[in-house]
């Protein structure tokens, strides 16, 4: 599981290599702006808390499988890439990924088959 961003920033972390930035770029940029201003409560905490389930589910399987799964569900060509860049997630992981995306309102379109 990936460490949470906000606590790392509060301890002096300066940046991230962020998988979630592929899904929520505006929100991750906001967290970095709050980090630069050393503002770790209020809006920064709200953004972090809201998207923490996404940050966690992105590592339910090896990176980049969960993110490419999400992009495949939203109609991008991720599911057409060849291994090792794309392997479909297990059915259990796909259910967890989809549930988090739905809860956060990040599912734009749902396709019946991912990883054709």
Could you tell me the pTM of the whole model? 0.74
Q: Examine the pLDDT at 27 and tell me if it is beyond 90.
A: yes
CA angle 45, 95, 115 (to 5 degrees): 115
Q: Return mean pLDDT, the chain.
A: 78
Which tokens hold the place of 68?
């490419």
| Mean local confidence (pLDDT), 96-110 | 82
Answer whether the bond into residue 100 is a cis peptide, omega within 30°: no
Lowest mean per-residue pLDDT among 9-13, 36-40, 49-53, 90-94: 9-13
């Amino acid at each position: 599981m990936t460490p949470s961003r906000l606590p790392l920033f509060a301890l002096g972390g300066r940046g991230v290599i962020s998988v979630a930035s592929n899904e929520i770029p505006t929100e991750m940029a906001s967290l970095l702006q709050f980090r630069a201003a050393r503002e770790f409560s209020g809006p920064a905490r709200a953004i972090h808390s809201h998207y923490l389930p996404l940050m966690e589910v992105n590592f339910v399987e090896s990176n980049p499988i969960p993110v490419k799964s999400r992009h495949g569900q939203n109609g991008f060509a991720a599911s057409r890439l060849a291994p090792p860049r794309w392997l479909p997630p297990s059915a259990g992981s796909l259910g967890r990924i989809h549930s988090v995306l739905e809860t956060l309102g990040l599912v734009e379109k749902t396709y019946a088959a991912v990883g054709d």
